[in-house]
Amino acid sequence: MPQDLFDAALPPEAAHQQLAPGAVLLHGFARDMDAALLQAIEAVITQAPLRHMQTPGGYTMSVATTNCGSLGWVSDSHGYRYAVLDPQNGTPWPAMPACFLDLAGRAAAKAGYDHFAPESCLINTYLPGAKLSLHQDKDEKDLSAPIVSVSLGLPAVFLFGTPNRKDRAQRYRLVHGDVVVWGGPSRLAFHGVMPLADGAHALLGRRRINLTFRSPLDKLAQS
């Protein structure tokens, strides 16, 4: 039986869940625009195919990734960084779809971060067993901007801690359409995803897709 095509609607008071200072889970926030998001994702993947990047330590990431926007996050033996060109083909990353920008801006504003305009969107695709180890998003020059993370497809267990790796991370179940936004005092919080459980989602089958919107550019340097 398909899992979590539409989880039961939450009462209004539960739709906006505080995870930590500056961090909010917006239950189902992206659900009503999933068709447009999935169409845009497929268009991006056609131009910049998914790939399993290598970590600086020589490991192969279990999630398959690609990017869109003016900058793309990449990882290889030289380290983690943002690149203007897709290293696989030397061409610019696909432009950020309008529906991506709209969703990211509205979600950030709902969480209390106005005027968020990301330059980069990392698209991660998980198959059963794929995971993301605890880490910080710290490759961005503009740490004043929040992170906006959108979940589509199979449910996942999201780990969210504090900027101190020694603190125990809390577990949250994310389902199709959920959006997590974190910034301010939680901007450098450690976070990750536990191994994805197998299942079948009515729209995405045995997959989970995550969109992570970031603002890597130094806005002060540009002004």
For the chain, the three-class secondary structure string (H helix, E strand, C coil) is CCCCCCCCCCCHHHCEEEEECCEEEECCCCHHHHHHHHHHHHHHHHHCCCECCECCCCCECCCEEEEEECCEEEEECCEEEEECECCCCCCECCCCCHHHHHHHHHHHHHCCCCCCCCCEEEEEEECCCCCEEEECCCCCCCCCCCEEEEEEECCEEEEECCCCCCCCCEEEEECCCCEEEECHHHCCCCEEECCCCCCCECCCECCEEEEEEECCCCHHHHC
Question: What does the alpha-carbon distance between residue 162 and residue 150 come to, in Å, rounded to a whole number?
Answer: 20
Is the pLDDT at 222 greater than 60, yes or no? no
Confidence band for 2, pLDDT divided at 50, 70 and 90: very low
Domain residue extents for the chain:
16-216
Res. 14 pLDDT band, cuts 50 70 90: low
Say what percent of the chain tops pLDDT 70: 91
Average pLDDT on 45-52 reads: 98
Q: How far apart are CA 145 and CA 129, in angstroms?
A: 31
Is residue 68 over pLDDT 80? Answer: yes
Measured between alpha carbons, how far is 132 from 159 in angstroms, rounded to an integer?
A: 9
Give the pLDDT confidence of 164-211 residue by residue, as tens digits: 999 999 999 999 999 999 999 999 999 999 999 999 999 999 999 999
Res 29: pLDDT: 97
Per-residue pLDDT at 10: 53
Residue 38's pLDDT band, with cuts at 50, 70 and 90, is very high
Q: Which two tokens stand for residue 147?
A: 């992170």
Residue 13 in this model has a pLDDT that exceeds 60: no
Q: Which residue has the higher pLDDT, 4 or 147?
A: 147
What's the topology of domain 16-216? Jelly Rolls (2.60.120)
Query: Of all residues in the chain, what percent carry a pLDDT higher than 90?
Result: 87
Q: Is the pLDDT of residue 40 over 80?
A: yes
pLDDT in tens, 158-169: 999 999 999 999
Query: Does residue 9 have a pLDDT over 70?
Result: no
Q: What is the pTM (predicted TM-score) of this model?
A: 0.93
pLDDT digits (tens, 9 = 90+) for 92-123: 999 999 999 999 999 999 999 999 999 999 99
